[in-house]
A and B are shown apart, each in its own frame.
Chain A
Amino acid sequence: MIEFVLDGRSKVNTYVQLVQQVKQALRVGMLTPGDQLPKVRDVARSLAINPNTVLKAYRELELEGLVEGRPGVGTFVKATLASAPMSDQAELRGDLVAWVHRARDAGLTPDDVTALVQTTIRASYPRQEEHA
């Protein structure tokens, strides 16, 4: 079972924060198919948030086919987001580390690197940008 944590300073909508946290847990393998999400009542109580907000987040995850609600039982994970196996990620990470070192040696600041990465992501994943 995961526990939701809200970023109080974030401008991101509360329900979006819940959706993002579930997706992150799916990506890193903290949640796998069959796992149950916390009950709406428990999330509402522990975070002191409106239960409709939790329902909205779970509905969105359901629409994306990631979870399914079983009436009277709870909400369960149906799919996974862990895409590339960890071994591939290690290789990608190695490439990235080498590239970041080149950028640093070329005199780029961390902010320059972030900006460059973000514009590249935007150009390479044109549709996901709208959603984020």
Chain B
Amino acid sequence: MSELIIQEKVIDNIKGKAISKTANDQNTDDIVPARYLKEITFEKMGEYVYIDERIKDGNKVEEHPFNKSGASEAKILLAGANYGCGSSREHAPQALHKFGINAIIAESFAEIFAGNCASLGVVCVTVSSEIISKLAEYLEKNPLAELEIDLNKKMITCGEEKIEFDMPEGRRQAFLKGTWDAMAILQQDKEGIKKIEDNLEYLSY
């Protein structure tokens, strides 16, 4: 099977302002409440990200990290452990992505959420809880400072420092080759799919 590279979709570097929101177990209902799932397109999802935290009793919560001045220019989110737990709703990563987030640094991710991010081209990388605290401290002192995530070198650049991150190797390769939207590579092996179809006896039961 030939190596597929989709040049125009290659993602190897994300550089931009970072929002810090490092509570653990932030769930998909926090990110996008269920009532917004009634929209049949993802167009407006960016308007709803963390909406019930950001607006209380009709008033904007000024201290919310996504409400701070400059937050709408952010490309990177710093999060805690088990980020995106809960529902499989793709609306959650869509909301973050449409808000402007292209990469998330967390201690760990809920699986379905991380898979959904990959499908959209949102890069998810993990570091230890100590590094999360360190980055959070840096961003507290330097609000919305720029970070850089280099997928080739597996490094985060924060100020003068370079910090190594983790991510599933398969996903990293998919971003580097532009095949993170798996539709193209899933369509390739027509023979392989036919072989399974012909050999799964229960399909005829």
Say if A and B assemble together. no
Interface residues of A (CB under 8 A from B): none
